[in-house]
Amino acid sequence: MSWFISRKDIAYISRGAKLLGCGGGGDTKTTQRLLESIMKEDDQINVLQYEDLTEQVVATVCFAGSPILYEEQLPRGDEGQMVFQEYQLKTNKKIDAVISAEIGGMNALIPLVVALQMGCAVVDGDGMGRAFPEFTMTTFYMHGLPISPLILLTRDGKQHLIEGAANDRIVRDNRQLLNMHGGFGHFICCGADANVVKNMMVSGTLKLAYRLGRAMEQDQLSAAAGWTAVEDEWENSIYGKPTLLIKGTVESVVRTFDQEQIVGELTIIGKQRFIGTTLTVSFHNEFIAVKKEGQYLVMVPDLIIIVNAKTFLPYTTNEIQRGMSVLIYAIPAPNVLRQKQMIDHVGPQAYGLDVSYEPFF
């Protein structure tokens, strides 16, 4: 049954989406402020759940490129609206609802901006169930949902149409245009019947982002509650129960930029009941693996989340600094991400790690 998002809900979704970002997906604050600035107190965004999706036309709208560059040059706010309108003209179809490619990070909020501006609905689901660095890591891509046509608005204000090619070619051309025209942009693609999209998406993730964000606020109001409210929300979802891997201090961070992506690793020295434990976390935009004494404990697509030890608020990979006191949690990924065909796209070997995926339980 459909539900509605009001202005006061945006902060919850923003906070929960950052948690689902697993260190990546971009900080949600800029897009949160944009959405709050244009959303009136009595505005509502209609959210369609799995059972509501029947014969509507659904399209994927999202941000792509460097979130750091995006934050340096504040958006006008109408980028998603512009590609949406152009897409309807090009396809001669009315888009009834938009869906996120990536619920982790800022792309959880981009469809909400477009839905509010265009008066359409948003789908309670996405194509990743977290954040990943590439569109080829979506469930939509894995299932072969046609991407064409794709309409891209790049940082320099130019609009680009990519159509009539295989999905892998469209993704390559889109990435090339992003790199040539300022490093980031907004695009829309994958227009399809809702009955098709519903069976490809990771369902219920927008509502989960809301619930997680609300639970985090409850945790901050009561320090004694710790992580309990958040753990309850994870357990009552398609994900698994969070496991605390370590409480400790960031001993070192090695961070480089490779083709607009943040790559590196950090070391955590345990304290309190974790004294004597040292963990190494690798990241590639998102946290992708945790090792102890050279052995892998957790790896993608399972979720690795690092939060402030006092506030429980999540960190992105570019926010982590030496000396921070943190908690590291591992969370089993939804089953859809653990399927063999998805592991080929999103598992550790997709990031160049010389290890086969072992599920975390």
Radius of gyration for the alpha carbons in the chain, expressed in angstroms and rounded = 19
Q: Which residues sit opposite 208 in a β-bridge?
A: none
> What value does the mean pLDDT take over residues 336-344?
96
Residues 112 and 119: beta-carbon distance below 8 Å: no
Q: Which residues sit opposite 187 in a β-bridge?
A: 62, 152
Residues 24 and 286: beta-carbon distance below 8 Å: yes
Long-range CB contacts (within 8 A, 24+) of 288-296: 288/348, 288/351, 288/353, 289/348, 289/353, 289/355, 290/245, 290/328, 290/330, 296/348, 296/355, 296/358
> Closest Cα to residue 67, out of 12, 108, 128, 39?
108
pTM of the model: 0.95
For 3-203, the fitting CATH number among 3.40.1610.10, 3.20.20.80, 1.10.340.30, 3.50.40.10 is 3.40.1610.10
Residues 145 and 175: beta-carbon distance below 8 Å: no
> What value does the mean pLDDT take over residues 259-286?
95
DSSP string, 22-38: TT-S--SHHHHHHHHHH
> Closest Cα to residue 149, out of 164, 169, 168, 135?
164
For 237-351, the fitting CATH number among 2.40.390.10, 3.40.1350.10, 3.40.640.10, 1.20.58.410 is 2.40.390.10
> Closest Cα to residue 25, out of 80, 101, 78, 97?
101
> Closest Cα to residue 20, out of 308, 304, 360?
304
Per-residue pLDDT tens over the stretch 208-263: 999 999 998 865 666 556 578 899 999 999 999 999 999 999 999 999 987 778 89
Q: Do domains 3-203 and 237-351 have the same CATH topology?
A: no
Per-residue pLDDT tens over the stretch 2-32: 899 999 999 999 999 999 999 999 989 999 9
The residue assigned the tokens 């590291």 is 328
Tokens of 171: 């993704």
Per-residue pLDDT tens over the stretch 291-331: 999 999 999 999 999 999 988 899 999 999 999 999 999 99
What count of Cα atoms within 13 Å lies in the side-chain half-sphere of residue 97? 28
What pairing do the DSSP bridges indicate for beta strands 57-65 and 97-100?
parallel
Spell out the domain ranges in the chain.
3-203, 237-351
- Grouping H, G, I as helix, E, B as strand and the rest as coil, residue 13 is helix
